[in-house]
Structure 1
Amino acid sequence: MSGSQVAFLGLGVMGGPMAGWLVQKGHQVRAWNRSPGKAESWASAHAVRPSSSIAQAVDGADMVLACVGDDPDARAVAEAAFTHMRAGAIYIDHTTTSAALASDLSKQAHNRGLGWVDAPVSGGQAGAVNGRLTAMCGATEADFSAAHPVMSAYCATIVRIGEAGTGQLTKMVNQIAIAGVVQGLAEAMAFAKAQGLDTDAVLAAISKGAAGSWQMDNRWVSMAEDRFDFGFAVDWMRKDLRIVLEAAEAKGLTLELTKLVDGYYGEIQAAGGGRLDTSSLARRFRHAGKAEE
């Protein structure tokens, strides 16, 4: 669908690069952001005209994509867009939200003759910048097939899980797994430093074996350097884990490790680290092993 008319709503650290890839791939992009200055800056950098309103951005668009904040933001932006979208257009929501919201918005979209895809992404800011995100999608087969070529502008992996809401549920699975891995990595780093090991040598020894992971490949070195001023913010991870824990509770599940790690992220927030990368869990061990030195 190169050359299709696309609207992108939300130009933050994820949405801005994603929308930029759409321009690079030859789509006609109209972009909107809640703060006009960011929209104007993005539009200038990509040689397109900014949109002053959601209505202006989505007018006539084949696809409307959104990447905003939490459930209230996602609902407000989607419902405003639905009012002005043309019949047959498809709304693709990349925001990480509750599955219940995705299901409700899907029903609203279909009642208006619109398509719907809930497509939360994984890969962080680097994945958005490099066009290598993973999208997990909830949609009808027809809506997914129509949306796939557009999402491929910035996604390396795009999977339809099932009907509306299943994309969001899969993102919850993703965040549960990440929470445990990052905590394990933080503890491993603390142990390596406490033992006086060369952390570069440790990485070379273990990263290609059973302990290896994306988090190890991309966060071990920065954790060793106590550098966290980038990446996926703790504030957003706590939002995601809140959604996870609420969904688990509704099914009678107790996710002990996820709940524990969520509390640790709360400590990071309380210490003023809400905008730090999720790997900042390592800061909880900053003074580990000092007593013996």
Structure 2
Amino acid sequence: MSALRLGFVGAGRMGGQMVRRLLAAGHEVTVLEASEEARAELAAAGAKATANVADLADAQMVGVCVHTDAQVRSVCLDGGLIDTLAEGAALIVHTTCSPRTVELLGGYAAKRGIAVVDAAISGGPHDIAAGTITLLVGGTAEAFAQVRPFLAAYGDPILHLGALGDGQRIKLLNNAVFAANIGIVGQAVAVAAQLGVAETALLQALEHGSGASRALAGIAGRGSVAGFASAVAEFLGKDLTVVRETAADLGADLGALNDAHAVLAPLLWPAQDA
């Protein structure tokens, strides 16, 4: 496959690993970055780093992996990213955000002949570095085919799950289930204490039983529900907030998932009422 001219916005904890994988695949990558120090680090890694969005004008595809929904809108709309791209280019939104946001971007970009896909992420920086991050993609079949060479640099599996916004919808449900699993284990630990069973003993047994899950593996690795919740609080707390807000905005009832989240909430937001 020939080298592509690519752009990237949000080369942080996750995005930075994506940029490195894209460079390792032989692509030319221009990264939009406000910090002079970060631009120097990106340049040392082989990327073209810039503070000027106009330098992304000739990119065939641009990935966005900023922190929040508001930042996605700011970069793509107020910051002029979509207006900068040429007709025929594609925009890939990795940030966990509202499906309404990517649909808004898609409608605006379509007027300029630019494709948009949402490619939500399930996994961590170590998965990206290994080229095995799970990507949950929404968009047209044509747009998916266009961006697949970009995503293939770090994604496996790459799952095309439906229309634009469906990647975000499914990511939000995935996060809701993951958080609920942690909450359920937390409740089991509370019951175990009532029965005189140590948390460590319970976790060891559950790992080898039918109650095992990825969430449980993380908890057992940290030695306790509280320890694991503390380790993932920054990222899981943000994502769970998005789940709640998006479900309310779309009129969806989380039902029993919400009950499980109530157990977890005091560990993620100790200063707030669950």
Same-fold call, TM cutoff 0.5: yes
Give a deviation string over 1:93-132, Cα, whole Å, max 9, x none.
1011101111110111111111111111111233233322
1:125·1:231 contact (CA, 8 Å) conserved in 2? no
5+ long unaligned stretches in structure 1: 274-283, 285-293
Once the two structures are TM-superposed, the CA of residue 173 in structure 1 deviates from its matched residue by 1.2
Give the drift of 1:159: 1.2
Q: CA deviation at 1:81?
A: 1.2
Could you tell me how far apart the structure 1 residues matched to 2:261 and 2:70 are? Answer: 21
Q: TM-score, normalised by structure 2?
A: 0.85
Q: Which residue of structure 2 aligns with residue 124 of structure 1?
A: 124
- Partners of 2:186 and 2:35 in 1: CA distance: 36
2:102 touches 2:165 (CA, 8 Å); kept in 1? yes
Rounded to whole Å, the distance in 2 between the matches of 1:271 and 1:139 is 38
Aligned to 1:249: 248
Q: Retained in 2: the 8 A contact 1:8–1:66?
A: yes
Which runs of structure 2 are paired with 1:45-64 in the superposition (5 Å)? 46-56=45-55, 58-64=56-62
- Matched-pair identity in %: 27
Alpha carbons of 1:42 and 1:216: their partners in 2 closer, same or farther (altered >3 Å)?
farther
Number of the residue aligned with 2:90: 90
SS at match of 2:158: strand
Map 1:6-45; keep pairs closer than 5 Å: 6-44=6-44
- Rounded to whole Å, the distance in 1 between the matches of 2:252 and 2:51 is 44
- 1:39-95 C-alpha deviation (Å, 9 max, x unpaired): 322332x13332222222x22111100101212100111222112112111100101
Q: Would the aligned equivalents of 2:97 and 2:242 in 1 still touch at CA under 8 Å?
A: yes
The number of equivalent residue pairs is 269
In the aligned structure 1, how far is the partner of 2:265 from the partner of 2:180? 15
Secondary structure of residue in 1 paired with 2:47: coil
1:171 deviation in Å?
0.9
Choose the corresponding residue for 1:76, options 74, 77, 86.
74
Query: In 2 relative to 1, CA 250–61 (structure 1 residues): closer, same or farther, beyond 3 Å?
Result: closer
Alignment gaps of 5+ in structure 2: none
Measured against aligned partners, the alpha-carbon deviations of 1:138-160 in whole angstroms (never above 9, x if no partner) come to 11100101111210111111111
Return the TM-score normalized by structure 1: 0.80
Following TM superposition, by how much is the alpha carbon of 1:208 offset from its aligned partner in structure 2, in angstroms?
Answer: 4.7
Which portions of structure 1, spanning 4 or more consecutive aligned residues, are displaced by more than 4 angstroms? 188-194, 225-232, 260-266, 269-273
Partner letter of residue 164 of structure 1?
L
Deviates more, 1:31-40 or 1:74-83: 31-40
Q: 3-state SS of the aligned residue for 1:119?
A: strand
SS in 2 for 1:143: helix
Partner of 2:140: 140
Per-residue CA shift, 1:240-278, capped at 9, x if unaligned? 3333223333454432444345555653455479xxxxx
Shift in CA distance, 196/237, structure 1 to aligned 2, threshold 3 Å: closer
* Residues 24, 254 of structure 1: alpha-carbon distance in 2 compared, 3 angstrom cutoff: same
**Cα offset, 1:15, TM superposition:** 0.7
Q: Distance in 1 between matches of 2:246 and 2:198?
A: 42
The farther-off stretch of 14-23 and 264-273 is: 264-273
CA contact (8 A) 1:241 1:258 kept: no
